Structures are given as structure tokens and as C-alpha cells.
Structure 1
Amino acid sequence: MPPALKALLAQAIGTATALAAARSGMLPGGLWPVVVVQALAATATATALGSAPWWRWIHLGFAPLVVVALQLNIAPGWYLAAFIGFALVFWSSFRTQVPLFLSNRATAAAVAEQLPRNRPSRLLDLGSGTGSLLRPLAQMRPDCRLEGIESAPAPYALSVLLTRREPTIAVARGDFFDIPWSDYDLVYAFLSPVPMAEVWRKASAELRPGALLVSNSFPVEGIDPDHIIDVDDRRHTRLYCYRPAGPAYQQKSGITGL
């Protein structure tokens, strides 16, 4: 079931449960008991449907925030502005279930160590956001060609602005599944668990032998990484490194013809 449909169903069941409880006399008088029951029922339904953890928090806070906002008598134009702002930042996150994650400098340093040292290399950042990985990498490895692709308009525009004086960085707007990955020495992903199976399939089909797939925080389910890097930062970042097209992987897994 698509995430948006799960969310709609959870809200509908939550509302029906709250109204039924109110009409049966099970709740004390007033609006807030109904709101609390609706939020809890919607969250429980989302959990039962297997929604991602962040959806559960959204359901828990949705109805209470709506009631508070209505009581504040906020002008409708502010809601429209907020909607446009969130749409420009998160764009298709409701469909892809990939929020905006920003890589820190310590992670960039760890990724820099994975690039080949004996020659200029090419790196592709999947969902490059504001260029938070590419910009420090350009300072650490000025000999490398660093490319990013981002679908959301606002992060993309900001990344173009912030990297305009970096000759080794190129950022494009689009879907990273629509471009070939065969020319890159390292493909970096900081996405979510949802697209990792498809990322793995594309990497296995297109990356040349020896190329590296590095996934920040989210491993490929069912696939053992070539190695794991524990980054010394506050959020204890873990990088899962794979060589899906390399001879070592093919020999270990028995896969040929990739």
C-alpha cells in the first residue's frame, strides 16, 4: 500500500474511532478528549499498517496541531506559504520516503578516504541536497570530479548557489535512477531504507568492477558490506561500503554476468 494511502486510512480510522467513542459516552466532555483519542487511534493504525516511524509521529501530532492552529486564527495565506515552502524542500518525499538528510564534514572526510589515491576519480552523490557532502570533499580532494543530483527545487537551488565557485563540483536536478552510474568510482547514498533495494539493483547492474557504493546509515538488506566505517561524530554515523560489480563480490556471492 502506498505511504500516502496508509496515512489517509490511518487518519480516517482514527477519526471514526474518536467519533464512535464520543457518541457512546465513553469520553469526558470537551474537544480535547476526542482529539487525543483520534491521534492515538491514527498512530496505532499507522503502526499496524507498517508505516515508517516518522509517519507515526506525524499522526500523533496532526489532529492536536490542527486544533491549535484553528484556535490561533492564523490567516490562510500563511498556510499556503508553509505548504509551498515544505513542497520546495521535501518535494517527492511523500512518494519516495526519502527525507532531506545532510552529511557532515566528518562523514565527508571518511568518504574522501575511500576514493582512489593514485588517480583523479569521479563521485556521484545520490540526492545531494544542499551539497553538504560535495563542498568539503572538494577541499579534501581537489583532483576529483564531484557530481550530485537532487530532485527537490529548494535544496538544489541552494546547492547551485553554494558551489558556484567550485570548479570540480557539478550539480543537476532530476531523478538519480534515470542517469547511468557506470562512469563513477564511488556512488554515495544517504537516503532511507525504502529505496536501498533498488539502489543495489542499479549499482549491481551498472557500476564497473572495483567501484564502491557507500550508504550512510542504511544498509542494503540481505547483503553483507565489503566493509563498514564508523565515523567519529556526534551521531555515530556508520557507512556501509559495497563493491557490487567487483570481482571479489562476484566470487564471494557466486553471481556472474553483472
Structure 2
Amino acid sequence: MKLPPALKALLAQIIGSVVALAVARSGVLPGGLWPVIAVQALAAAGSATALGSATWWRWIHLGFAPLVMVALQLHIPPGWYLAAFLGLALVFWSSFRTQVPLFLSNRKTAAAVAELLPRKRPARLLDLGSGTGSLLRPLAQMRPDCRLEGIESAPAPYALSLLLSRRQPTIALARGDFFAISWGGYDLVYAFLSPVPMTAVWRKASAELSPGALLVSNSFPVEDVEPEQVIDVDDRRRTRLYCYYPAGPALKKSGITGG
């Protein structure tokens, strides 16, 4: 049975706590609380791996119990915990459910995407999970003739993207679920998500995009689908762009870039 990410996280923490308690009672650990905390963190992270959680969840499990211990020792007022929770919720919103963290595209990636847009006519681009607009703003400068749209579910990144792009009239932003809107009519759909939703992204793109429209995935290929082209971006993180024609190439189209 496939478990939701949040339930996997809860189970991993419970298993980690049970293991830590059992090891502590066995008497094999040195004195003090920190050895028990270390065992709990390692067991929780190992359980998350066994449950098939995303890699970033494992790092959360490794740090969760130690950070709680540090916070208790510092006697931090309860109000700060609430503030931190609200801040994280506004930034990451539904990441616990979708397993899509906040990734930001850089300017070199935007330049590579600009080269994939049709050159001889205005085009429409949709950025799935547009975050703070880090792709759309430089792209608007490079291709002022194009209509650039983004949709983001998290309130804080969306609000920041509105603020930062307020003087760029070719950018249109919306808050919501990108699976709930139509992708028809776009020349290029860009995704910088995670491996988890890529099968669903491919399915929707195949059903709604027109022939010749590109699906470009930053860093995460579609499983069991061969890309038309893979572009290596010359940046520090060695970005790779996986380019697909979900509905097939357009008629009289000779290359991956538009004409």
C-alpha cells in the first residue's frame, strides 16, 4: 500500500523512538541523553529510507530530534515555535503532501530556456510551481515579446513573485494547483519539481499540449520516457534540462527550437 508522505514521516519518527528506547534499555549506550537522541535520528532516517521517502525527508529525520533537544535546552519561548511553524507553512505550504520542495531556477537556466522558445514569433510559456518567479523575471528581459505565466501554491513565494515582477507586464502570475488548470495553448511548459509528480506531469502534458509544444523538466526526467534532447547548463549546480514533445513534434518542424 502506498502511504502519504506525512504518514511515512510519522511512522519513521515512531520507529526511531522505539528503536532508541530499546537500545537505551539494553545498556549498550554511554550515559547521557545525546547518545539516545543520535540513535533515534539514525533509526528514523533509516526507517524513512526503507519506507521509500524522498531524500530530503531523510535529512529532516536526521536533524529533527537533535534540533528539538537543542531548543529545549535553550528554553525558547513557545511563541517562537508558532512563528517558525507559520513561516515554514507559508513558504513550503503543501510540500509535505506533494513532496515538491521550493527550487529556484537561475539566470543561466533562464537563458537556456529562452533558446528553446520559438524565435520568429511571440510564444506562451507556463512555469509549473513558479516559486518567487526566478525563471520568469530574467526570461521576460530576454524575450520581451513572449507571454510568460506562472502558477504557485505556496503563499509566501507567490506574494514575493508578485512584488518582484510588478513592473514586468509580460509576466502573469496565479496562485493555485497547476494540475487544476489547462495546459493547452502553451508553446513550452517548464517544471522544476521533484521526481514524485513527473509521471502525472507527463500524463497531463500528453493529454493537453499541442503537437510541437515542449515540456522542459529541470533536473528530473520523466521515468521510462526518452527525452528528445538533454541540455547541460553551464552553472554551478550542473543543471540538466530534459526536453520532451508529449504530443509529438509539430508538422514541418525540423528541430527542437521553434521557428
What TM-score comes out, normalization by structure 2 length? 0.94
Structure 2, unaligned stretches of length 5 or more? 252-259
SS at match of 1:113: helix
1: distance between equivalents of 2:45 and 2:164?
39
Show the counterpart of 1:176.
178
2: distance between equivalents of 1:30 and 1:232?
49
Fraction of identical pairs, as percent = 83
**Match for 1:221 among 195, 220, 223?**
223
2: distance between equivalents of 1:181 and 1:233?
29
Q: Superposed, which structure 2 residues align to 1:128-207 within 5 Å?
A: 128-207=130-209
Q: Which moved further from structure 2: 35-44 or 140-149?
A: 35-44
2: distance between equivalents of 1:71 and 1:172?
43
What TM-score comes out, normalization by structure 1 length? 0.95
SS at match of 1:236: coil
SS at match of 1:239: strand
RMSD: 1.1
2: distance between equivalents of 1:41 and 1:231?
38
Counterpart amino acid of residue 231 in structure 1: V
Compute the displacement of 1:28 (Å): 2.0
2: distance between equivalents of 1:115 and 1:42?
45
1:67 aligns with 2:69: yes
1:14-73 CA deviation, whole Å, 9 max, x = no partner? 111111111222222211111111111111111111111111111111111101100000
Counterpart amino acid of residue 54 in structure 1: W
Which structure has more RCO (C-alpha within 8 Å, separation ≥ 6)?
2
**Match for 2:237 among 235, 238, 257?**
235
Structure 1, unaligned stretches of length 5 or more? 250-258
Show the counterpart of 2:36.
34
Conserved in 1, the CA contact under 8 Å of 2:126 and 2:150? yes
1:171-218 CA deviation, whole Å, 9 max, x = no partner? 000000000011100000000000000000000000001000000000
Aligned residues: 249
Conserved in 1, the CA contact under 8 Å of 2:213 and 2:249? no
Show the counterpart of 1:208.
210
SS at match of 1:125: strand
